[in-house]
Structure 1
């Protein structure tokens, strides 16, 4: 076995999260399929170039799929693959880590946000 080629699975996952905007794009797709322009609606600083690069990388890693629609004009739709959807637990746990910090959110806000994440990410206790 060539140990120079072994990449720690944790490092590989965190590398995806470390890319600017990628985790937000994945999170957005838990709400359903998205068109290119929809990713930018609440992210005014996200450039087309960076968005295209991130979508391409997520597709290459098998987390999302792209579907070109026969609309006039042509449009593209992106959605999570089954593999991408399996990140729901990881994203939920990341959110819970932050929400458990009692100095950042009130008890009521933490409860509401936890409930919202559970529903959106389809988390069962």
Structure 2
């Protein structure tokens, strides 16, 4: 058997296994578009963030648009392929929010977060 990845879970993980990838995808869903916005609240170097954005772009998950502004500005957005990851991000959030043992969030906060994720990620039941 070749080294080809045949399991669909492995193939998906191969797309998003780079550190910070999931957080960047989540941030894009929640409206962040610019390099400096992705750095907010994260201990991530410019080099690592740039590498991660390039990797996501090369895998067709995000697209980069250089704006004709002064100074030049760059925006990132999810492709349709990237937007199809909404359920993955949602289920990752629900994994924690539905954990009965989790005491980081109050019940009220958990319910609000569930509502926010469902609405932002456009999850239909």
> Would you say same fold, with TM above 0.5?
yes
1:67 is paired with a residue of what secondary structure? strand
**Equivalent in 48, 59, 62 of residue 61 of structure 1:** 59
Maintained 8 Å contact 1:16/1:23: no
Q: CA deviation at 1:120?
A: 1.1
Structure 2 match to 1:80: 78
| Alignment of 1:35 onto 2:34 | yes
Q: CA RMSD in A?
A: 1.5
**4+ runs deviating over 4 angstroms:** none
Q: CA deviation at 1:5?
A: 4.3
Unpaired stretches in structure 2, ≥5 consecutive residues: none
Maintained 8 Å contact 1:22/1:54: yes
Return the TM-score normalized by structure 2: 0.89
Unpaired stretches in structure 1, ≥5 consecutive residues: none
Q: CA deviation at 1:33?
A: 5.3
Single out whichever of 114-123 and 5-14 deviates more from structure 2.
5-14
Return the TM-score normalized by structure 1: 0.89
Structure 2 match to 1:70: 68
